[in-house]
Amino acid sequence: MEDELLEEEKKLRRLRFIVDFALQYIRSQTMSHDEALRVVEGVKKYTLTLFPGKEDAFDMIYAPRFKRVLNEKFQRS
């Protein structure tokens, strides 16, 4: 049981790192909107390998952060 919790925490830390890295990468790199969307899709795919079936959680927790960065970078509202 404790091993499962530790593994879950490890996965969450890895996911947070990947999300933060991807957000910073999108902010700092010269790329098209389509390229930025591919980065987001890659992170989502990776998330679902770590946490299968948790697409709704990704959409609620992380998608708004990505949307905000994309809107800032590409001046959309």
pLDDT tens-place string over residues 6-34: 999 999 999 999 999 999 999 999 999 99
Smallest Cα–Cα separation from 71: which of 63, 58, 45?
63
From the number of C-beta atoms within 10 Å of its C-beta (0-12, 13-18, 19+), residue 19 rates as buried
Q: What is the domain partition of the chain in residue ranges?
A: 2-73
d(Cα 72, Cα 77) in Å, to the nearest integer?
A: 8
Q: What is the pTM of this model?
A: 0.89
Looking at residue 77, what is its pLDDT?
55
* Cβ count within 10 A of residue 43: 22
pLDDT tens-place string over residues 36-73: 999 999 999 999 999 999 999 999 999 999 999 999 99
Looking at residue 3, what is its pLDDT?
93
